[in-house]
C-alpha cells in the first residue's frame, strides 16, 4: 500500500448517444473519490489513453463484437498506467501496466477483474509507453494479425493500406515492407504522405485529399492490388476494389469514413470485383488473437530495436480535452497514433 497524490478521480462518461460526429454534450465530466484497492487488487493511475476509431462504434446502442458503453458509464479506453497502490504480489508500486483503464484518472481493479480489463505489466525495455499504445499495443496487434493471418502476404506482392499515417496503417505498411512487399499507402494531405514514404519507407503514398485515387492506384499498382488493408471504407474501398489483382485479399479492419454517418453505411458498389478476381474480403477483430500477442510483441519490438520499424504518436494533453481529441480521428487531423496524455508520471 502506498499513499497517492490525489484523492479525486476525474472521469469522462457517456451522457448521450451521438448522432453523427460526437459533441461535447454527449459527454459528462464527473468526479468521485479515488478508491483504495480491495484485497489482492491494485490501484492504477492513468498516464496515457489510446484514442481509437473503434470507440465511435462503442458509443452506439448496437450489437457488435463488444457490448456498447452504457449511458452514464465511464467511456471505455485502453491505456498505460502506473500502479500506485497494490495489494497483489504480482504488481508493485511503480509498475507500468496496460489495461482498459477507461477515460479517467484512476482505476481500482479487483483481482477478479484483471482478465476482463486485460491488465498486464509492460516491459519498458521493449518500447516506450507511447509505443505500447501503438506498434506494441492494439493498433500494432491489429496490423500484425490482420496483415499476416488474413492477408497472407508473399514477397513481391502489392499491398495497399488506407489510414497509412494512422496507428494501424504504420504497422501494416512497415511490416509489409519487411515481408518483401511493394507498399502503397493512402493518407490525407502531403505532410502525411511525405512522412509515410520518406520516414517509413513505403514505395508510394496517395493523397486522397488531392482527388483521383483511382488514377493514382493505377499508376502506383501497375500489376493490381494483391492485399488491401482497409481502415476507411467508403469511396476509397470502391476505388481499390476496381484495381484488385487475381486472388486478392481485403482485410476489413474498419471504416472510419462511415462511423459518423447519419445515413446508412455506403456499401461497396464494386464488390463484384471479388467475383471477377476470385478475391476475398474478410473481417477481423484483434481480441481473437490475444493468446498470440506476446509473439507479435516480441517480433515488432525487435524491429523497433533494430530501427527497421518506426512509430509516431500524436499526443494531446489533458483529460478534459478528450471530446475534441477523439474527434481529431474523424476529421483526419491526427498524424500518427492518437494518444491522450492524462498525467506525465
Where along the sequence are the contacts to a second copy (CB under 8 A)? 63-65, 233, 238, 252-255, 258, 264-285, 288
Nearer Cβ to a second copy, position 285 or 343?
Answer: 285
Burial class (CB in 10 A: 0-12, 13-18, 19+), 179: middle
Nearer Cβ to a second copy, position 191 or 265?
Answer: 265
Nearer Cβ to a second copy, position 47 or 241?
Answer: 241
Shortest separation between residue 226's beta carbon and a second copy, angstroms: 15
Nearer Cβ to a second copy, position 40 or 266?
Answer: 266
Shortest separation between residue 285's beta carbon and a second copy, angstroms: 6
- In a 3-state reduction of DSSP, which class is residue 131? helix
Shortest separation between residue 213's beta carbon and a second copy, angstroms: 17
Report the distance separating Cα 168 and Cα 183, nearest Å.
14
Query: Residues, the chain, total?
Result: 345
- Residues 176, 204 contacting (CB under 8 angstroms): no
**β-strand pairing of 158-162 with 106-109:** unpaired
Shortest separation between residue 237's beta carbon and a second copy, angstroms: 9
- Residues 309, 177 contacting (CB under 8 angstroms): no
Provide the sign of the torsion angle of the four alpha carbons 340, 8, 108, 3, taken in this order. positive
Nearest to 28 by CA among 48, 12, 49, 4: 12
Shortest separation between residue 252's beta carbon and a second copy, angstroms: 5
Shortest separation between residue 263's beta carbon and a second copy, angstroms: 10
**β-strand pairing of 313-317 with 337-341:** parallel
Shortest separation between residue 150's beta carbon and a second copy, angstroms: 8
- Residues 200, 169 contacting (CB under 8 angstroms): no
Report the distance separating Cα 211 and Cα 217, nearest Å.
11
Q: Identify the helix (H) or strand (E) that includes residue 188.
A: none
Q: Hey, which residues does 46 pair with through a beta bridge? A: 81
Nearer Cβ to a second copy, position 52 or 105?
Answer: 52
Nearer Cβ to a second copy, position 29 or 271?
Answer: 271
Nearer Cβ to a second copy, position 278 or 305?
Answer: 278
Amino acid at each position: 500500500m502506498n499513499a497517492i497524490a490525489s484523492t479525486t478521480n476525474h472521469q469522462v462518461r457517456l451522457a448521450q448517444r451521438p448522432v453523427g460526429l460526437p459533441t461535447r454534450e454527449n459527454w459528462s465530466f464527473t468526479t468521485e473519490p479515488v478508491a483504495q484497492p480491495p484485497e489482492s487488487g491494485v490501484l492504477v493511475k492513468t498516464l496515457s489513453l489510446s484514442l481509437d476509431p473503434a470507440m465511435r462504434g462503442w458509443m452506439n446502442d448496437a450489437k457488435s463484437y463488444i457490448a456498447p458503453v452504457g449511458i452514464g458509464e465511464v467511456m471505455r479506453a485502453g491505456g498505460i498506467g502506473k500502479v500506485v497502490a497494490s495489494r497483489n504480489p504480482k504488481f508493485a508500486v511503480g509498475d507500468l501496466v496496460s489495461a482498459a483503464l477507461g477515460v479517467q484518472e484512476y482505476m481500482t481493479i479487483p483481482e477478479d477483474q484483471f482478465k476482463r480489463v486485460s491488465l498486464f505489466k509492460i516491459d519498458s525495455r521493449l518500447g516506450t509507453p507511447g509505443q505500447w499504445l501503438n506498434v506494441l499495443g492494439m493498433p500494432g496487434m491489429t496490423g500484425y494479425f490482420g496483415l499476416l493471418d488474413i492477408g497472407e502476404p508473399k514477397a513481391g506482392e502489392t499491398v495497399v493500406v488506407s489510414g497509412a499515417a494512422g496507428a494501424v496503417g504504420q504497422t501494416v505498411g512497415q511490416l509489409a515492407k519487411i515481408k518483401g512487399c511493394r507498399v502503397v499507402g493512402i493518407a490525407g494531405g502531403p505532410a502525411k504522405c511525405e512522412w509515410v514514404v520518406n520516414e517509413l519507407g513505403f514505395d508510394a503514398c496517395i493523397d486522397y485529399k488531392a482527388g483521383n485515387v483511382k488514377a493514382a492506384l493505377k499508376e502506383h499498382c501497375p500489376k493490381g492490388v494483391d492485399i488491401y488493408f482497409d481502415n476507411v471504407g467508403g469511396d476509397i474501398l470502391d476505388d481499390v476494389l476496381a484495381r484488385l489483382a487475381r486472388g486478392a485479399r481485403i482485410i476489413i479492419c474498419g471504416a472510419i469514413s462511415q462511423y459518423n454517418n447519419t445515413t446508412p453505411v455506403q456499401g461497396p458498389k464494386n464488390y463484384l470485383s471479388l467475383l471477377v478476381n476470385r478475391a476475398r474480403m474478410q473481417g477481423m477483430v484483434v481480441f481473437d488473437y490475444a493468446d498470440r500477442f506476446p509473439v507479435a510483441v516480441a517480433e515488432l519490438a525487435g524491429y523497433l530495436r533494430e530501427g527497421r520499424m518506426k512509430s509516431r504518436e500524436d499526443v494531446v494533453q489533458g483529460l478534459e480535452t478528450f471530446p475534441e481529441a477523439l474527434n481529431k480521428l474523424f476529421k483526419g487531423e491526427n498524424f500518427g497514433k492518437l494518444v491522450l496524455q492524462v498525467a506525465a508520471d
